[in-house]
């Protein structure tokens, strides 16, 4: 399969288009798929951060409710009044039951002053906390916060008792509307991180973090970052902290590009953030494009294999035809094409087989004619050479006899010359008559061949006339169909006009109906517009059909002119054939006349000879000898010349016959 072959061109172009479509489809799928994957990850982040924020908010609210419950418990009030640990066992039980508290404690206070802790859940570790100025400041902050809100939450900090990271929920204990103390619940952020943050899954590397709105991280799966990472100090911190619910933000942190979204808990002054590394999204996209490429390559391979087999199978007859034509160019006409399919290639194969059969028959006839012509020319050449030898010998003998009789005829030269010239003129006339007869016979043969060829031309022209007549009939049918379509279009145009008229009447009636007919008027207007469009389209179709009819009429006129031309050719060929037949008859009559003239010339020659004998009575013997020798010499010379011409012509004819035979033998036929 060469690079210039039709098979190679079709396969290469088809595969190229297939590959281009594959890459185009893959690129389109990747483009839309990447958007969908990114949207999926972002939607997952938004969903997870909402769930975690909801759970975190519910958890804080439940702890706040518990703090209020503890504040109203009699044991709490008793501990404040007695300044004793009456509620410590109760607090220890709560600490043990919930497991997410670092401590629960209460201390006495009034509107402006706080006092050391009197009851707690850590077996007395917190009793007396608040005696130092720094500790008292913490308790004072809890008092101020709880006096403003039902339940207040402090900023995250390290517990001075256990060292754990905590936030403190504080609520005031009141008696008859006055603050008598403050109950505090210290929530362990490590525990909250384990319960809510660490269990939130975002792909492989994504995570959720809880931030104070000032920027400090208070809950993270990496606990080493809790209170040790201030987002506000990062280059992206302000933008991240300013995000609203559902907004996406892209930033660079710790060597990675990341996406972030937040859910704000403004009541607690917290933000719950979902963080997703972009490289995980990129990995998913890479897996997606890899899958698309694998499927695309597989589809391209299967399609290419199917295309190759299909093209190879459908073009196999063309390859066979190419091989047969190559062998035909080498002279081999014995092969046939296999018309495997009933398509254009199959039709071409059948036509090629018919052409090979016709050409084989013609070559077979040429070979036979060349063989016969070669044999005949060889025989003619052999006979002419033998005759030329005899003629030359005769000419030599006549020369000797002429020299002997020349002295005897010297005295009778004048009379003999006159009679000899007369006799030679008669002989020349007789020779010309024979040449004329031979030429007439050759002309007759050529005229007969011309008549036969004219008959063949006449038959072919009649077949062409019949084909044109058939084509004219088909064209007339097409013209009739076109006229029918014109009639249909006219009918449709009339219907369109009637529709427009009806729409106009409907519009008039709608106008008369006033407000109630407005809707009907709109419909009537649309019908009118549709009718106008139909009329415009019908006019365009009518113009196209008119142009088509003009072109068909021109084609019919051209066919009519062609038919008339072929009829003229047929009449001219028949007239030429008739003239040739008349000329053949004239030639045959001329040949008969030439034969009669030939006989008369023989008679005149005999009479001239008698006159010459009468004049030369006394020298009869000499004159007879001289005349015989002269005639013999002339005949011998003429015969020798003619035999040489015939021999030369026969040699040339034999060479041409051999050349024609060799050319014909180059072809192999069945």
Write the CA distances from 327 to 320, 324, 334, integer angstroms. Answer: 11, 5, 9
- pLDDT recorded at residue 90: 94
- Cβ burial of 42 (10 Å; 0-12, 13-18, 19+) is middle
- pLDDT recorded at residue 17: 84
- Would the pLDDT of 443 be above 70? yes
d(CA 12, CA 499): 56
- Would the pLDDT of 666 be above 80? no
Same domain membership, residue 401 and residue 272: no
| Digit-coded pLDDT (tens) for 531-561 | 777 778 777 877 877 787 787 778 778 767 7
Those residues whose C-beta lies under 8 Å from the C-beta of residue 362, and which sit 6 or more positions away, are none
| Digit-coded pLDDT (tens) for 486-530 | 777 787 778 877 887 887 787 787 788 777 777 767 777 777 777
User: Which residues lie across from 184 on neighbouring strands?
Assistant: 105, 170
Reported as type and span, the H/E element at residue 211 is: strand 207-212
- pLDDT recorded at residue 21: 78
What pLDDT band is residue 35 in, cutting at 50, 70 and 90? Answer: confident
The percentage of the chain sitting over the pLDDT mark of 70, rounded to a whole number, equals 80
d(CA 138, CA 184): 11
Q: Structural domain tally of the chain?
A: 2
- Cβ burial of 193 (10 Å; 0-12, 13-18, 19+) is buried
Q: Which two tokens stand for residue 409?
A: 């005829």
Q: Between the ranges 162-166, 297-301, 656-660, where is the mean pLDDT highest? A: 162-166
Same domain membership, residue 612 and residue 465: yes
- pLDDT recorded at residue 244: 93
As a whole number, the mean pLDDT across the chain is 79
* Cα 170 off chain centre by: 77
- pLDDT recorded at residue 311: 67
Helix (H, G, I), strand (E, B) or coil at 215: coil
What pLDDT band is residue 4 in, cutting at 50, 70 and 90? Answer: low
At 656, phi and psi to the nearest 5? Answer: -65, -40
Same domain membership, residue 393 and residue 254: no
Same domain membership, residue 405 and residue 274: no
Residue 452, in any domain of the structure: yes
Same domain membership, residue 229 and residue 97: yes
Higher pLDDT, 613 or 115: 115
- Would the pLDDT of 439 be above 80? no
Radius of gyration of the chain (CA): 64
Look up the CATH number of the domain holding residue 51: 3.30.450.20
d(CA 670, CA 667): 10
Among 242, 265, 286, where does a domain finish?
Answer: 286
- pLDDT recorded at residue 9: 75
Residue 511, in any domain of the structure: no
| Digit-coded pLDDT (tens) for 145-191 | 888 888 999 899 888 888 888 999 999 999 888 999 999 999 988 88
| Digit-coded pLDDT (tens) for 131-148 | 899 889 989 999 998 888
Write the CA distances from 131 to 48, 137, 448, 613, integer angstroms. Answer: 44, 10, 151, 193
Nearest to 265 by CA among 212, 209, 200, 189: 212
User: Which residues lie across from 103 on neighbouring strands?
Assistant: 186
Among 236, 252, 286, where does a domain finish?
Answer: 286
Same domain membership, residue 607 and residue 497: yes
Higher pLDDT, 88 or 448: 88
Q: Which residue has the tokens 């005349």?
A: 627
- pLDDT recorded at residue 359: 72
For 50-73, what is the HEC assignment?
HHHHHHHHHHHHHHHHHHHHHHHC
Helix (H, G, I), strand (E, B) or coil at 501: helix
Higher pLDDT, 364 or 108: 108
10 Å Cβ neighbour count for 213?
16
Helix axes 344-406, 620-665, angle to 10 degrees: 160
Higher pLDDT, 121 or 478: 121
What pLDDT band is residue 314 in, cutting at 50, 70 and 90? Answer: low
Please compute, for residue 268, the number of CA atoms within 13 A of its CA located in the half-sphere on the CB side.
27
Residue 527, in any domain of the structure: no
What pLDDT band is residue 57 in, cutting at 50, 70 and 90? Answer: very high
What pLDDT band is residue 419 in, cutting at 50, 70 and 90? Answer: low
Among 264, 286, 308, where does a domain finish?
Answer: 286
Residue 214, in any domain of the structure: yes
Residue 292, in any domain of the structure: no
> The whole model's pTM is what?
0.44
Same domain membership, residue 226 and residue 92: yes
Kind of pairing between the strands at 178-188 and 207-212: unpaired
Sign of CA pseudo-dihedral 288, 289, 290, 294: positive
First to last CA, the chain: 30
| DSSP per-residue string spanning 586-650 | HHHHHHHHHHHHHHHHHHHHHHHHHHHHHHTSTTHHHHHHHHHHHHHHHHHHHHHHHHHHHHHHH
Q: What is the mean pLDDT of residues 197-225?
A: 86
| Digit-coded pLDDT (tens) for 213-264 | 899 999 888 888 888 889 989 888 889 889 999 899 999 988 888 999 999 9
- pLDDT recorded at residue 260: 93
- pLDDT recorded at residue 547: 81
Residue 353, in any domain of the structure: no
Q: What is the mean pLDDT of residues 596-602?
A: 72
Q: What is the mean pLDDT of residues 38-67?
A: 90
Kind of pairing between the strands at 157-158 and 217-219: unpaired
Domain encompassing residue 398: 388-505+538-665
- Would the pLDDT of 58 be above 80? yes
- Would the pLDDT of 6 be above 90? no
Write the CA distances from 83 to 68, 137, 185, 203, integer angstroms. Answer: 20, 20, 19, 53
Look up the CATH number of the domain holding residue 657: 1.10.287.2610
Same domain membership, residue 198 and residue 56: yes
- pLDDT recorded at residue 496: 73
Q: What is the mean pLDDT of residues 94-101?
A: 88
d(CA 106, CA 115): 10
| Digit-coded pLDDT (tens) for 73-88 | 999 999 999 999 999 9
- pLDDT recorded at residue 272: 93
At 376, phi and psi to the nearest 5? Answer: -65, -40
Residue 344, in any domain of the structure: no
What pLDDT band is residue 390 in, cutting at 50, 70 and 90? Answer: low
For 86-133, what is the HEC assignment?
CCHHHHHHHHHHHCCEEEEEEEEECCCCECCCCEECCCCCCCCCCCCH
- pLDDT recorded at residue 444: 73
Q: Please, where are the H alpha helices in 177-223?
A: 189-192
Residue 463, in any domain of the structure: yes
Same domain membership, residue 400 and residue 282: no
């Amino acid at each position: 399969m060469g690079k210039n072959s039709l098979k190679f061109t079709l396969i290469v172009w088809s595969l190229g288009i297939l590959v281009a479509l594959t890459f185009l489809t893959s690129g389109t799928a990747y483009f839309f798929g990447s958007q969908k994957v990114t949207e999926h990850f972002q939607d997952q982040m938004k969903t997870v951060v909402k769930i975690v924020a909801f759970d975190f908010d519910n958890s804080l609210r439940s702890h706040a409710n518990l703090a209020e419950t503890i504040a109203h418990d009699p044991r709490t009030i008793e501990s404040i009044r007695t300044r004793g640990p009456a509620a410590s066992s109760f607090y220890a039980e709560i600490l043990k039951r919930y497991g997410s508290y670092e401590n629960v404690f209460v201390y006495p206070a009034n509107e402006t002053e706080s006092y050391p802790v009197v009851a707690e859940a850590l077996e007395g570790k917190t009793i007396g906390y608040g005696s130092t100025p720094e500790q008292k400041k913490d308790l004072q902050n809890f008092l101020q916060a709880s006096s403003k809100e039902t339940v207040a939450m402090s900023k995250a900090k390290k517990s001075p008792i256990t060292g754990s990271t905590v936030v403190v929920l504080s609520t005031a204990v009141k008696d008859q509307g006055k603050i008598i103390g403050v109950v505090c619940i210290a929530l362990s952020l490590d525990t909250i991180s384990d319960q809510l943050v660490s269990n939130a899954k975002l792909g492989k590397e994504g995570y959720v973090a809880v931030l104070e709105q000032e920027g400090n991280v208070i809950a993270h799966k990496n606990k080493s970052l809790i209170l040790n990472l201030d987002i506000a100090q990062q280059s992206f911190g302000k933008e991240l902290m300013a995000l609203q619910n559902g907004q996406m933000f892209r930033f660079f942190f710790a060597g990675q590009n990341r996406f972030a979204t937040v859910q704000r808990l403004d009541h607690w002054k917290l933000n719950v953030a979902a963080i997703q590394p972009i490289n995980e999204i990129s990995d998913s996209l890479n897996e997606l494009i890899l899958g698309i490429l694998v499927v695309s390559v597989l589809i391209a391979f299967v399609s290419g294999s199917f295309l190759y087999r299909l093209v190879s199978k459908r073009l196999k007859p063309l390859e066979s035809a190419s091989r047969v034509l190559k062998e035909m160019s080498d002279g081999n006409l014995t092969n046939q094409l296999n018309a495997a399919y009933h398509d254009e290639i199959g039709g071409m194969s059948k036509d090629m087989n018919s052409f090979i059969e016709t050409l084989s028959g013609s070559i077979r006839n040429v070979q036979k004619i060349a063989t016969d012509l070669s044999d005949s020319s060889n025989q003619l050449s052999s006979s002419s050479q033998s005759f030329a030898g005899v003629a030359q010998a005769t000419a030599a003998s006549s020369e000797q006899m002429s020299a002997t009789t020349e002295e005897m005829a010297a005295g009778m030269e004048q009379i003999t010359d006159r009679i000899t010239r007369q006799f030679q003129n008669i002989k020349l006339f007789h020779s010309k008559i024979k040449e004329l007869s031979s030429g007439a016979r050759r002309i007759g043969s050529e005229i007969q061949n011309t008549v036969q060829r004219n008959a063949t031309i006449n038959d072919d022209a009649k077949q062409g006339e019949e084909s044109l007549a058939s084509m004219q009939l088909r064209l007339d049918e097409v013209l009739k169909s076109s006229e029918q379509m014109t009639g249909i279009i006219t009918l449709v145009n009339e219907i369109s006009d009637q529709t427009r008229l009806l729409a106009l009447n409907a519009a008039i009636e709608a106008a008369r109906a006033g407000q109630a007919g407005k809707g009907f008027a709109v419909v009537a207007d649309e019908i009118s517009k549709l009718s106008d469009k139909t009329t415009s389209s019908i006019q365009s179709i009518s113009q196209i059909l008119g142009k088509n009819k003009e072109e068909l009429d021109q084609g019919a006129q051209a066919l009519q002119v062609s038919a008339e031309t072929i009829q003229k050719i047929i009449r001219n060929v028949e007239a030429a054939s008739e003239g040739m037949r008349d000329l053949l008859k004239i030639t045959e009559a001329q040949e008969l006349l030439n034969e009669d003239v030939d006989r008369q010339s023989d008679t005149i020659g005999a009479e001239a000879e008698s006159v010459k004998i009468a004049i030369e009575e006394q020298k009869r013997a000499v004159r007879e000898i001289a005349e015989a020798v002269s005639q013999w010499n002339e005949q011998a010379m003429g015969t020798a010349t003619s035999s040489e011409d015939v021999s030369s012509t026969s040699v040339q004819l034999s060479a041409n016959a051999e050349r024609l035979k060799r050319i014909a033998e180059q072809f192999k036929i069945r």
